[in-house]
Amino acid sequence: MNEELILQHGLTLDEFQVIRKYLNRDLSIEELGIFSAMWNEHCCYKTSKKWLKKLPTDNEIVIQGPGENAGVIDLQDNDGIAFKIESHNHPSYIEPFNGSATGVGGILRDIFTMGARPIATLDSIRFGLIETEKTKYLLNGVVHGIGHYGNCIGIPNIGGECEFESTYDFNNLVNAMAVGHVQKDKIFYSKPKSIGGLIVYIGSKTGKDGIHGASMASDVFSEEDEDEKRPSVQVGDPFMEKLLMEGCLELMSSGLIESMQDMGAAGITSSSVEMASKGNVGVYINLDKVPLRQPLSAYEILLSESQERMLAVIDKKNNHKVREILQKWQIDYEVIGEITDTKRVVFESNNKKVVDLPVEIIVDDAPEYDREFYIPRKRKNKDFDFSKIKLEDMITNLLTNLNYLDKSWVFDQYDSTVMGDTIREPGQSSGIVKIHGTQKVIGASTDCNPLYIRINPYEGMKYTVAESYRNLIACNINPLAITNNLNFASPLDPNIMGELVLSIHGLKTAAVKFNTPIVSGNVSLYNQTNEIPIKPTPVIGMVGSNMDLNKINTNKFCEIGNKILILGKQLTKNFSPYLLQDQKIAFNICEFNDLDVLDLDFEKKIANCVLELSDLKCIMSCNDISRGGIFSALLKMQYKDMGFRIKVPDPIDLFCEYSAGYVIEIRSKDFEEVTSFLTKKGAEYLDIGEIIKEGIQINSKKFDYFDIMNKYRNDFEKIIS
C-alpha cells in the first residue's frame, strides 16, 4: 500500500506497520478506511487515554460510567439519569447551521440509545471576536442550527454558555450536552446478548455525507481547507430523528431489542465494531442490504456519517413485530447481518468479503501514546495599578462586553419550555427540569474558565469544576456527577499537552473532593488553525438533583426591602484574571499573576451552608458569583424592575472574582437567624444592602436603573447585528 494513501487516512506509517505485522498481509482499501476511522483521536482517544484513566468514574450512584453511549446515574426509586456532552467543533466552523444541528442530533441519539427519553439539552458555544463578519455568520448559524434541531424534535434547551474571545477566531467551539430519563430496569447497552442475533439497520438511508468526518474532526485546519471539507459535514433532519426516537423508545419499552448503538462518528464501522468488542463476539454484515440514498461503494458505506441511523440487535423471532412498529413511524428498517462467535468483523459486498479483521486488532491494539508535555513555568507576582479606575468606567466596560450582557438573543431562539417540565429558563445559573410524573428535579450547568486554565491548568480546572458546582448549589441542587468535553489545540505541542495533563489532574482533584464522578465525555484535539491554538477549553457539564421541586431556589430577586448578603472569599484584585482582562488592565497572558489556590474544603463548607439555609426556607433567591464579580451577579438577579442599594468598602471589590461566592437574598426578619447560623458555621458574610424598586445605588452614588438595564438586556443584539 502506498505511503501517501496511508497518510491520507490519518494513520502514521508506524501505526500502519503495527497493523501490517499483525495481519501478515496487505489491507483492502475498506480495511484501511476502518483503521482510519477507529484509530483516530475521536474514536480511540490515543493521546488522552493514559490521562483519562486517572479520573474518578465510580461511586455509589453511578450505574454506568464512561465507555457506553452515555453515563447513567441513580436517582432513587426506578429513576436513572443518562447524560453526556459531545463536541461538533470542526463541522460547525465549516458549516455552522448543519454542523451544530447534527451536534445536537448526535448527542440526543447517544441518550435514547440507552433507553432514556431525552428531557433537556444544554450548549456550550464559543466564538471569536464579534467585530468580524465571519464571527457574526458563525454565531447566527450555530444558534439557528442548535435551535432548529432541538425545537423541532421537542426537547427543551435549558441553558449553557456563550462566550467570545479572539482565541476562537478560527476555531469556534460547539459542545452539546443532553440529559435523559431512564427507568433503571430498562437501560439498554451496546453489548449484544446472544450469538445469532440479527443485526438490524434502523433510520435514514445512507448517503455520501460525512465520509471521513471522524478523521476530519482530528485534523488541524488550514484556512483553504474550509470549502474543500464542506461535503464532509453531515446534514441533519430533526423530523426524522423525532420519528427515530419515538420508534426506538417504543421498541425498547416493548422489549423487542437486545442492544443498540448509534451510528455516529465513523458510522456503521464504529457502531458494529464497538458492538462486537463490548460483547466479545463477532459481527457479519452484508453491505448490499444497507438502505442507500444513492449508489455507494462498500468503502463509502462503511465510512458514511449520514445522520439519524441506528444499529440494533434483535432476536430472530421479533423481526416481524419490530418491522410493524417501525412502519407505523415510517422508518426504514433492514436486517443487514448477524452476531457471530468468530470475534471477527466481517463485511461483505457483492458476494465478496471486503473486510475480515479480528476485533482485537481494531480495538484492543489501538495505539495509545504517552506524549511529551511541559509543566508551565511559575509566574512572578506583579502589582497592578488600580488607582485610575472609576466605578462608572468599570460599569461601562462591563456593559460593552458581550460576555457580560444578557444573552436572551441566543436563548430566545431555543424552545426552553416544551415537554412542560421546565422549572427554570435558560440564562440563569443552571437549568432545571422536573422528572415527569415525580417531584424530583434535575439541574444541569456547563462551564469552563479558559483564561484561568491558561494561567494555571491545574488550579484553573478546579475553579471550572467549582463554578459548575456553585451554579447548582445556588439553586439548592445537590451536585451528583460530571460529563466533560476536553477541547484543546494540538497535543503534539508539549505545552498544549501539559495543559491537557494538568487540567485532567485538576478535574480529578475537584471531582474526588465533591464526590462528583466523571461518567461520560469527549475529547476534541487539534483545535488550531494556521498554527494559532485555542486556549485550553475543557468544558464540564455537571448534573445534580433535588428530590423536592418545592425546595429549589430562584436566581431572581423576590421582594423589595429584602436584604442582600455575600458569602465566600474574594480573590484579591491582583489575582482576579477576568477583572484584569475586562477592565483592560492586563492583556498578555504573561502579565497575569498566578491563581490563588482554590480551597475545595472551603467551597464545600459554604455550599453546605447555602443548602441548609435553602432547606430552612431562609433563602429567597441566590446566585453564584463568577466572572464579573458581585456586580454581574446582581445584574443577573434583576426581575420585575427590582434593583439594589449597596455599600462596599471599595467599588473595585464589586468586580473581583470569588471562591465559594454567592449572593443571597433574605428577609429582614430572618436576618438574625441567618447570620447567627453562618457565624456558628464559621462562614463569613458581608451584609451589603437591600433590594429597592427601580434603582441601582452603589455607595450612595445613584445610577439610572432603566439605562443600565436597557443596555444589559438589549445591547447584545445591537452589537452582534
Partner 1 sequence: MSFKSAVITFPGSNCDRDALCYLKDLTKGEVHNIWHEETSLPKVDLVILPGGFSFGDYLRSGAMASKSKIIDEVVKHANDNRYLLGICNGFQILTEIGLLEGALIRNKKLKFLGKNCFIKKKFKNNFNLSIKDKQVLQIPVAHNEGNFYCDTETLNLLKNNEQIAFEYCKGEFSNTEENINGSIEAIAGITNKKKNVLGMMPHPERAYSDFHQSQDGRLIIESLIS
As to burial, measured by CB atoms within 10 angstroms (0-12 exposed, 13-18 middle, 19+ buried), residue 597 is: exposed
* Nearer of residues 71 and 236 to partner 1, judged by Cβ: 236
Q: How far is the CB of 153 from partner 1 (least distance, A)?
A: 7
Would you call 88 a catalytic residue per the annotation? Answer: yes
- List the one residue from 347, 414, 557, 658 that touches partner 1 (CB under 8 A): 414
d(CA 85, CA 446): 9
Q: Which is nearer to partner 1, 189 or 329 (CB)?
A: 329
Is residue 137 within the footprint of partner 1 (CB under 8 A)? no
The smaller minimum CB distance to partner 1, of residues 151 and 272, is found at 151
Distance CA 382, CA 363 (A): 50
Fill in the DSSP letter of residue 596: P
Q: In whole angstroms, how far apart are CA 566 and each of 78, 300, 563, 648, 686? A: 39, 59, 10, 11, 5
Contact call for residue 254 and partner 1 (CB under 8 A) = no
Is there binding between residue 408 and partner 1 (CB under 8 A)? Answer: yes
Return the number of the residue (154 or 196) whose C-beta is nearest partner 1.
154
Residue 715 binds partner 1 (CB under 8 A): no
Q: Under 8 Å CB-to-CB from 208, ≥6 apart: which residues?
A: 231, 294, 296, 300, 304
Options 277, 416, 509, 614; binder of partner 1; rule CB under 8 A: 416
The neighbour count for residue 186, using CB atoms within 10 Å, is 15
CB of 243 to partner 1, least distance (A): 6
Taking a C-beta distance cutoff of 8 angstroms, is the pair 259, 189 a contact?
yes
Nearest approach, Cβ of residue 175 and partner 1 (Å)? 21
Distance (Å, whole) CA 475 – CA 237: 35
Q: Looking at 295, 420, 649, 682, which residue binds partner 1 (CB under 8 A)?
A: 420
Rule CB under 8 A: is residue 65 a binding residue for partner 1?
no
Pick the closer one to partner 1 by CB: 29 or 709.
Answer: 709
The span of 164-172, 233-241, 366-374, 443-451 binding partner 1 (CB under 8 A) equals 233-241
Strand partners, 533: 528
| SS3 category, 233 | coil
Binding flag, residue 152, partner 1 (CB under 8 A) = yes
- State the minimum distance, in angstroms, from the CB of residue 438 to partner 1: 12
Minimum distance of partner 1 from residue 551's CB (angstroms): 11
- Name which of 689, 683, 559, 690 is nearest 612 in CA terms: 683
Beta strands in 333-460, from DSSP E residues, in sequence order: 333-340, 344-349, 352-358, 431-434, 441-447
Nearest in space to 118 (alpha carbons), one of 147, 153, 78: 153
Between 483 and 512, how does the x/- string for binding to partner 1 read (CB under 8 A)? ------------------------------
The torsion angles phi and psi of 158, rounded to 5 degrees, stand at -105, 10
Comparison of 102 and 271: residue with beta carbon closer to partner 1: 102
Cβ–Cβ < 8 Å for 114, 67 = no
Tell me the closest approach of the beta carbon of residue 423 to partner 1, in angstroms.
Answer: 6
User: Of these, 549, 618, 692, 719, which contacts partner 1 (CB under 8 A)?
Assistant: 549
CB of 242 to partner 1, least distance (A): 6
Instruction: Report if residue 411 touches partner 1, rule: CB under 8 A.
Output: yes
- Smallest separation (angstroms) from partner 1 to the CB of 246: 8
For position 329 contacting partner 1 by CB under 8 A, the verdict is yes
Which one of the listed residues 9, 42, 148, 181 is annotated catalytic? 42
Amino acid at residue number 446: T
Q: Which is nearer to partner 1, 532 or 709 (CB)?
A: 709
By CB under 8 A, is residue 159 in contact with partner 1? no
Residues 6 or more apart whose CB falls under 8 angstroms from that of 373 comprise: 494, 495, 497, 498, 500, 501
Helix 391-399, helix 705-720: angle, nearest 10: 40
x/- string (CB under 8 A) for partner 1, residues 426-465? --------x-------------------------------
- Measured from the CB of residue 147, what is the shortest distance to partner 1 in angstroms? 5
Q: Is 323 in the site for partner 1 (CB under 8 A)?
A: no
Our finding on whether 238 is near partner 1 (CB under 8 A) is: yes
Whole-angstrom CA distances from 493 to 371, 374, 489 are 9, 9, 8
Write down the H helix ranges in 116-266.
133-153, 213-216, 225-229, 238-253
Query: Closest CB to partner 1 among 330 and 530?
Result: 330
Pick the piece of the chain touching partner 1 (CB under 8 A) from 18-26, 124-132, 140-148, 370-378.
140-148
- What is the C-alpha to C-alpha distance for residues 506 and 467, in angstroms, rounded to an integer? 13
The residue among 78, 696, 176 whose CA lies nearest residue 487 is 176
Cα dihedral 705→398→452→43 (10° resolution):
90
From 475, 471, 468, select the one nearest 518 (Cα to Cα).
468
The one segment of 164-172, 178-186, 239-247, 648-656 that binds partner 1 by CB under 8 A: 239-247
Q: Which of 226, 250, 315, 415 binds partner 1 (CB under 8 A)?
A: 415
Angle between helix 600-615 and helix 494-514 axes, rounded to 10 deg: 40
The single residue among 151, 259, 271, 349 that binds partner 1, judged by CB under 8 A, is 151
Q: Give the nearer residue to partner 1 in terms of CB position, either 261 or 632.
A: 632
- Shortest distance (Å) from residue 332 CB to partner 1: 14
Compute how many residues bind partner 1; rule: CB under 8 A.
Answer: 36
Q: Could you say whether residue 154 binds partner 1 (CB under 8 A)?
A: yes
Which of the residues 88, 148, 181, 212 is marked catalytic? Answer: 88
- Specify the residue, 183 or 515, whose C-beta has the smaller distance to partner 1: 183
- Give whichever of 159 and 450 is closer to partner 1, judged by the CB atom: 159
| 31-52 per-residue burial string, b: 16 or more CB within 10 A, e: under 16 | bbbbbbbbbbbbbbbbbbbebb
Stretch that binds partner 1, among 84-92, 150-158, 295-303, 309-317 (CB under 8 A): 150-158
Annotated catalytic residue 181: no
Interface residue with partner 1 among 419, 492, 532, 648 (CB under 8 A) is: 419
Q: How is 538-573 classified by DSSP, letter by letter?
A: EEEEEEEEES-GGGPPBSS---TT-EEEEEEEEPPG
Q: Binding pattern to partner 1, positions 688-707, x when CB under 8 A?
A: ------------------x-
H or E segment and range at residue 176? strand 173-183
Q: Which of 306, 130, 333 is nearest to 233 (CA)?
A: 306
Nearer to partner 1, 486 or 691 (CB): 691
Question: Residue 636 interacts with partner 1 (CB under 8 A)?
Answer: no
User: Amino acid letter at 624?
Assistant: D
Query: Does position 641 bind partner 1 by CB under 8 A?
Result: yes
- Please write down the HEC assignment for all residues of 372-402: CCCCCCCCCCCCCCCCCCCHHHHHHHHHCCH
**Is 237 an interacting residue with respect to partner 1 (CB under 8 A)?**
yes
Site residues, partner 1 (CB under 8 A): 144, 147-148, 151-154, 237-240, 242-243, 329-330, 408, 411-420, 422-423, 425, 434, 549, 640-641, 706, 709, 713
List active site positions.
42, 88
